[in-house]
Every structure is written in C-alpha cells, then in structure tokens.
Structure 1
C-alpha cells in the first residue's frame, strides 16, 4: 500500500508565527490557560543512561515539532533539539535565525534498537514532514528548515537511500522531487535550554497550537502502530 503523504499545513497554520519568530521563552500570559497546560512530567535521563542507546539524527523543519514527534515514538528514549549539517562552531538560535550559519535545526534521537529499528525511524522521518518543499516546512522558510537524513555509517546510508528510492518507485509524492539531503553526520550542537521540550512546556504558544500540535496529531493519526502507549 502506498505510504501516506502528509498534506501541507492548514490555511490557519500558514498565518501563524514561524518557529524562528519566537527567540525567547513564551510569556506567562501565553501559558496561563490551564485547559492547555500539560499535566505529565517528562522523565529526564542522565548522560550515563542515554549512553546505553543508539543515536540517530534528522532535520525536517522547526525542531520544536520534530522533537515532539520522535518523542511520541515507541523505543525512542530521548529527543534533543539542536543544530547540525553546517560548518560553523557553536551556532546559536539567533545566528540560525539571521541566516549566519549553514546549519539546520535538527534533532538528536536516542533509541533502543531492540524496540525500533533505524529503518523505522527513517519511515517516521519521511512520514512526518513534506520532503518535497525545498528549504521550507509549512510557514517556516529558510535553509535552516531544510530536510536532511543523516547517516553515521554505510549501512544507515544504504537504508536511507533505499527508502527514498522506494518512495520514488511508488510515486508517493506524485512526481514531485524529493529534496531531502542524505548527509554524513559530523557533529550535533545542542540548542539552548529553553528549546528542549518546547512543545510540552509551551502548549499555549501560538505556533505550538497552530503548527506543532496539528503536525504531531497528523503523524499520530497515520502512524498509530509506532506510538508509545501514553502517546495515543
């Protein structure tokens, strides 16, 4: 059966603020609605705990969205927002926003390969964004939002390339070219603290309400078999 292609964000979302427009923590007023506040606390794993797991790296638009999507996936122990794919050292959110680096907003994923495979993570990656929109996801435009599937070894590279070829063979995107970069992983720079778990911690932020949550919900609707029990 043909893999589902996610639709472009709704008209309402297109008029929402972009991921890059908010460079500080959301105001108290934005988070004052108790009806939208999250009630569960995320368990924090130590670096020692995380060292037990495999890592994978992807970029597919605003990292607030991507982090939340991967954290809903069974077998994923942690998803961290950051920057990768460029050459500059110590990139910051401000530098990224003003186009002063060649990095993309990316996520570092720690996963248990006994629960979920790298191939499945690649499927999550392609199933949760539109890889045919060059340097853009929804309302977010710029090279920092480009689609990149990183590989750490030749096996991962082959998996990514084979999956892209399968998407082309099945004409999943109706002839539209896949713009995803297949790039060897070099280094991941962790983003500023306030970006971590941004969707969970800022549920009333306008971008989160209009872009991130609808994107996450579309993924959940179409990939129920991938979800953790508490993510349904």
Structure 2
C-alpha cells in the first residue's frame, strides 16, 4: 500500500498537468483565432467587454450616452452554450462579459474603451473587487485591426500613466453567449440587493464621477 501512494500521486500529477496543458492549448486557440466582425443592424454597432461581474458592467455602459442596451453574457472561452454555473468553475474559458449595442454616430468605440478602463481597477488580475477567478478576468474584444490598434494604444498609454502592468487581455471576438434571463438588468431590477448596494452601485458612482461628460442626462444615481 505504501508503494501505491507515491505511484497514485505521480499519476494524479500527470493527469492535472495534462488537463492544464489541454486547457491552455484551447485558450491559446481562442486567442490566435481570426476576429469575427459583427455587422451593423438598424444603424447600431456592437462591442464586447469583460470586466468582472457583468451586473456591474451592464449598468455602467447603460449610463453612457449613445448606448442603447447592454446585455450580460459569456465570451472568451471555447465551450458551447456556457451557463453561469459552468463558467463559475473557471473550466469553460469564458469570462462574464457584456454586449454593448450602441450608435456609432453618438459614441465611438474608442470612447467605449475609455469607459472600460475608467470603470475598473485596471491592474487587478483575474477579477474586479471582491469577484476573483478567471471567469471575472478583464478582456477587451476586437473585431478588426482598427479596433485592435485603438485598444493596444490606449492600454499602452494607461500602463505608462500608471507605471504599472494593465491586466486586461486583448482577444479577437468570436462569439457572445447571452446569459440567463435572471442576470439581465440585474442592478436595475434589484437595487436593494446586498451585492448591488455594496459593490455595483459604488462602482457605478466611481465611474460616473470620472467621466461625467459621457453620461446620459438621466443616468446619475
């Protein structure tokens, strides 16, 4: 029995290493993929961001002039039809993300990237605030070379300004999976929920104080 324990330990180690390597390969394939560009629909464009809990991010973007709607979901991974429970394991590769439907004649993609960085702790790795794990990591998704250039330039400028490494990853957009119905407009529908009171609303207010010039007239809390 004593001889079996080291053997089992080695076998488990190899199994874990193989699993981690397989996950890394799948994630790298996502990062190396060609971006998919989402066409305009009724004059509206779409952009995709991951920045911690999607309840927080959804509300932030919906306060911005030119943003028609913000939808909570999952992106950045390799599994199909991810669920909240599955993504929370960190094994799907997905992060909680938002789809921003906006009028490009009113607000530019570049401004949406500014909103992204102004509404988070840009140096926090694998999470925002109390939400930690790969499912809460920061990702900006680009759909073409122009968007990628905007992201990289703004990321580099912020790194220089803060004299720190910026945690946000930059991924080619592949697919956005809409989250379960109960996640949509969560902050708006549950303003007195404990997490919303303690985390989401303070985060929204901090952003609004930083970029008041981009807010809708009725957006202030």
With the length of structure 1 as denominator, give the TM-score of the two structures: 0.76
**How far has the Cα of 1:50 moved from its partner?**
5.9
Say if 1:71 and 1:79, in contact at 8 Å, map to a contact too: yes
Partner residue of 1:201?
189
Q: Which residue of 2 aligns with 1:108?
A: 99
- Give the count of matched residue pairs: 181
Q: CA deviation at 1:168?
A: 2.3
Distance 2:41 2:93 in 1: 28
**Structure 1 runs of 4+ off > 2 angstroms?**
49-52
Does residue 176 in structure 1 map to residue 167 in structure 2? no
CA deviation digits over 1:46-95, x for unaligned, max 9?
xxx96430000000000000000000000000100000000000000011
Task: Name which structure has the greater RCO, CA cutoff 8 Å, separation 6+.
Answer: 1
Give the number of the structure whose residues are more often helix, by fraction: 2
Match of 1:98 in 2: 89
Name the CA distance, whole Å, in 2 between partners of 1:96 and 1:57.
Answer: 17
Query: Which ranges of structure 1 fall in alignment gaps of 5 or more residues?
Result: 1-48
Match of 2:50 in 1: 59
Q: Which structure has the bigger radius of gyration?
A: 2
Residue 217 (1) aligns with residue 205 (2): yes
Task: State the alpha-carbon separation in 1 of the partners of residues 206 and 41 from structure 2.
Answer: 28
Aligned position for 1:152: 143
2:145 is aligned with 1:162: no
- Kept in 2: contact 1:50–1:110 (CA 8 A): no
Per-residue CA deviation, residues 108-166 of structure 1 (Å, 9 max, x unaligned), is: 00110110000000000000001211101110010011010100000000000011111
SS of the equivalent of 1:108 reads strand
In structure 1, how many angstroms separate the alpha carbons of the residues matched to 2:114 and 2:50?
13
Matched with 1:46 is none
Normalising by the residue count of structure 2, what TM-score does the alignment of the two structures yield?
A: 0.79
Check 1:72–1:50 CA distance in 2 against 1; reply closer, same or farther (3 A cut).
farther
Partner of 2:33: none
1:143 paired to 2:131: no
How well do the aligned residues superpose, as a CA RMSD in angstroms? 1.3
